[in-house]
Structures are given as structure tokens and as C-alpha cells.
Chains A and B, each alone.
Chain A
Amino acid sequence: MTDPDSLDFTVPDPWGDLPGYALNALSPDERARVDALVESSPEARDELLRYMEATDNLRILAKDAVPSARVRRLLLAQVDSDIHLMDVAREDAQSVVPLKTPFLQVLLKPARVAYAGTAAAVISVVAIALVFGLENSRLDSELTQLRNDVQNDRGEIDGLRASVDGINAEFATQDAEVTRLTAVNAALNQALKDQQWLTYVTQNKEYRVPEYLEGGSQAPEANGTLAVKNFDDLAVFLVSSLPPAPDGYQYMLSLVRDGVPDPVATFQVNEAGMARVEFELPDNIVQYESAIVTLERSDGDAEVLAGPQVMTAAESTP
């Protein structure tokens, strides 16, 4: 019996390469030889199919894996593109106008009958020129049509761009609105907490309310409450309906003693016009006769009041 290992495999052996073909283990040359073999030999093709059935089972050894949904999407997009291109090619094929050879024949026919030699040649030249002229005219017409198509497409693209710009602008507006509403919501939440706190201090025996403030002409809706914790230096000023200070300005709360304001805290209000300001009393609250709120420059002297009064002590408690 011949030992397979002793065979000279440097000689092309397409039959012996059938298993390698099924395993995709051939060089391009070897593969081409096997292709030629199975093309000409049904027996070789059947044997190759038997080997391929065996290798086909090997794929089962691959772990189950799922491609991302993107693959299906891209595949179908590519298919759509193919379909579109085929449609365009079909339309182009239908739009090609054949040369007007019957016209040429009509022109040449009388020439063949009535004239010979030079006359026929002249007519032929004229006829050919006419045909070229017609063809040129047709191409011009197609070119013009294509230019018009391009122009129309540009118009559509410009329209789409404008639509996209409009949508983007709408998104930007909505984003800004969401941002604004978020801020308002946060302010309202804070206001609710402050209101609950105000209710708490006005009803809690640990606190007393020595002063209520109201807005002047610049902030007629504003009102404030100064609460002080009993037997403590802690004080809290709650204000509402006070317009936000302009850029570069802040509000300043001062306690008034002997007609002289003593600044104790600066603050800003939120979008709802509310603020809660906690501060330590510089002296016993009974030493002060009232409180005021002034509008001051943010970079101004914190100890000197220079701005207008926006809130003063209320003439009557609410």
C-alpha cells in the first residue's frame, strides 16, 4: 500500500486538495485548480460537497452571539441604495434616444438615384453634418435637462437645509424653555420650603417676629419677615415678591438703631423673588428699632449704605 506521506505533493493535485478547499485552506492557485476540476468532474464536485457538509457542521462550535441592530439597518440601507441605483439606470436606459438613421437614409436615397461621385459625397457630408447637428442638439437638450434637474435638486436641498435649520432653532428654543422652567421649578421648590419654614417660625414658640417689612415704590409687592430665635443670636429674614437685583447689584439688610442703619447681611433673590437670609445678630434685637433693605452695588463698601431703600418696616403687621 502506498504511504500518503511519501507522495510528491509538490505536483498539483486538485483531487487531494478537495478537503483543503472545504476548509478554506488553499492558496489562490490551488483553489483555482480545484474550481476547474469540479467544473469538469461531477465526481469531484460530489466529493467536495461531502467534505463541505462536514465543515458546515464546524460553525456550530461558534458561541452564540448577536450582532448589533446597526448591521441589519446598514444592510437594508445598502439594499435600498442598490434598488435606487437600478431604478435610475433603468430610467436612463429608457431615456436614451436612438440615432436618426432613417433620416440619414432618406437624405442619401435621392443622392444614390440622381447623382454620383462628387455630388453624392457632398450630400453625404451635408447629411452627416445634419445628423451630427441633430445629435448635438439632442445632447444639448439632455444637458439642459440635467442642468435643470440639478438646479431643482439644489432647490430641494436648500429647502431641506432650511427645514433642518428651522428644526434646530426650534430645538434650541425648547432647550432654553426647559432650562428656564427647570430654574423656575427649583425656585418654586425653594419658595415652598421657605414658606413652610416661615410658617414654622411664626407658629413656633422658640421664635418671635419682631419686624415685618414691606416694599417701597421700587418693589411695591415685596414683603419680608424678620424672625429671631429666643435666647439665641440667630436671626432669619424671609423675603418674597422682591424683584431680582440688576446685574452688579445686591440687596443689603440692615438693622436700624438710633436712626442709623447697621448692615447685617447681603442677599440675592431667586427667580420667584424669594430669599431666606440667616445671620447672627450683632447685638440683642431689642436694641434695634427697625430694619431696612437697600439696593447696593456688589462691589461697593459692605459697611456703607449708598443705594436706595427698597423695603422698610411695615406700618402694620400683616
Chain B
Amino acid sequence: MTIDLQDKTDLELLEMISGGDRDALANMYDRYGRRVFALSARILNDPVSSEEVTQDVFLSVWRRGSSYSAAKGKFTTWLFSIAHNRTIDELRKRRRDRNRQNDDIDDHLSIESTEISPLENAVAQSEYAKVRDAMADLPVEQRQVVELSYFKGLTQAEIAEKTGQPLGTVKTRMRLALKKLRNALNSEISAAV
């Protein structure tokens, strides 16, 4: 039974999950639970909250798996967009709570360079290295808007305010950054992860 499930594609598993198959969800969690947790932990820097987010994400898959369609892109893109959405929601909720307490959020929003994973040292041509290199190749201001939005959870309006740039500039930088990233990262990565 377990071996059978391991041989299933993501979409086959998702179909089983939509039909109420508990084991299929467990198998899906075993495939992607770590990566969802890692993404959330990278953004929240809080393992406890990240575990809650991870649980929520897979509950969403369980309850709303039937809402997925190929028109929404690859399954992993859909799954990790749910994970990212949920994580950013949590981050913004915290920020609101902190604002209510009149805390200064500047420290939290400080720009950090992308951290180097141990994986990079172990596997020189890893997916990590490719993405990191692609990020490093971006002009600083474009990399900044990506990091502030994707990893720090700022809206484009907040980024404009924080960086002192017009909103149009922020949007343009986002568009250019994503186009360059997409061109730099070949489909090999997407296929591998």
C-alpha cells in the first residue's frame, strides 16, 4: 500500500486526497512537509509558528484539494503559493500586533542578504546555488524588492514607503526581477523539486 502511494504522481495523490483518502494526504505530507516547513521557518524564524502553518497548509490541501486545476500552474507552485500566503498572513498578523503595541518594526524589516545554506557547500551545483546565484545576479534594488516582499512580507506600497521610491518604480523592479529570475532558472530546477 505504502509503496503504491509512493509511486503515485502528485496529481494522482491529490485526486485520492479529494476523495477522502487519508493515507494519500500522509504521503503528500511526507513528500513536501519538510519543504513547506522550511519555507515558513525561513520567513517567520519561529519553528512553533512554522509548524502551525505547515499543518494548516496540508489541512487546506485536504479540505480544498479539489479546487486545484492545472490552469493554476504546476501542483508544487500551487502548494507553495498556499504555504507562502499562509506564512505571509501570519507575518503580517504579527506585525499588526506589534504595531498595536507601538513597537518599532524597523528591526524586523531590515534588509538581510540571502543566507548561505550548508547545502551549498555540500553540493556545488545544487538548486540552491542556482537560485542564489540568480538572485545575486539581480541588481541590488531589484533583489531588495524581492527580499522585502517574498521573505519579509511587505506589500509593494510598504516597500515604496520604506525605500522612498515611487510605487511605480517598485512595481517595475518587481516585474524585471521576476522576469530575470525566470529566465535565469531553467526548467531543470522546477522539474527536480
Q: What size tier do the contact residues of chain B reach?
A: 35 or more
Question: Are B168 and A4 in contact (CB-based, < 8 A)?
Answer: yes
Q: Is A83 part of the binding interface, using a Cβ–Cβ cutoff of 8 Å?
A: yes
A179, chain B: closest CB distance, angstroms: 37
Question: Are B34 and A61 in contact (CB-based, < 8 A)?
Answer: no
**Which B residues touch A76, using CB under 8 A?**
22, 25-26
Binding site for A on B (CB under 8 A): 20, 22, 25-26, 29-30, 33-35, 37-39, 41-43, 47, 50-51, 54-55, 58-59, 62-63, 71-74, 76-77, 80-81, 83-85, 88, 114-115, 117-119, 127-128, 131-132, 134-135, 146, 149-151, 153-157, 159, 166-169, 171-172, 174-175, 177-179, 181-182, 185, 189-190, 193
A4-31: which residues lie under 8 A (CB-CB) from chain B? 4-10, 13, 16-20, 22-27
Q: Which residue in chain B gives the minimum CB-CB distance to A8?
A: B168
Q: Is A105 part of the binding interface, using a Cβ–Cβ cutoff of 8 Å?
A: no
What are 17 A-B contacts with C-beta separation under 8 Å? A19-B171, A20-B174, A23-B174, A24-B84, A25-B156, A27-B157, A49-B77, A54-B178, A54-B182, A57-B127, A58-B181, A60-B128, A65-B38, A65-B50, A67-B37, A79-B22, A83-B20
A178, chain B: closest CB distance, angstroms: 36
Question: Are B42 and A62 in contact (CB-based, < 8 A)?
Answer: yes
Q: Give A26 to B171 CA distance when docked, in angstroms.
A: 11
Q: Is A59 part of the binding interface, using a Cβ–Cβ cutoff of 8 Å?
A: yes
Q: What size tier do the contact residues of chain A reach?
A: 35 or more
Question: Are A71 and B155 in contact (CB-based, < 8 A)?
Answer: no
Q: Give A179 to B122 CA distance when docked, in angstroms.
A: 52
Question: Are B77 and A61 in contact (CB-based, < 8 A)?
Answer: no
Q: Is A80 part of the binding interface, using a Cβ–Cβ cutoff of 8 Å?
A: yes
Question: Are B22 and A75 in contact (CB-based, < 8 A)?
Answer: no
Q: Is A86 part of the binding interface, using a Cβ–Cβ cutoff of 8 Å?
A: yes
Question: Are B168 and A9 in contact (CB-based, < 8 A)?
Answer: yes
Q: Give A292 to B185 CA distance when docked, in angstroms.
A: 96
Given A72-B26, A82-B63, A62 contacting B38 (CB threshold 8 A): yes
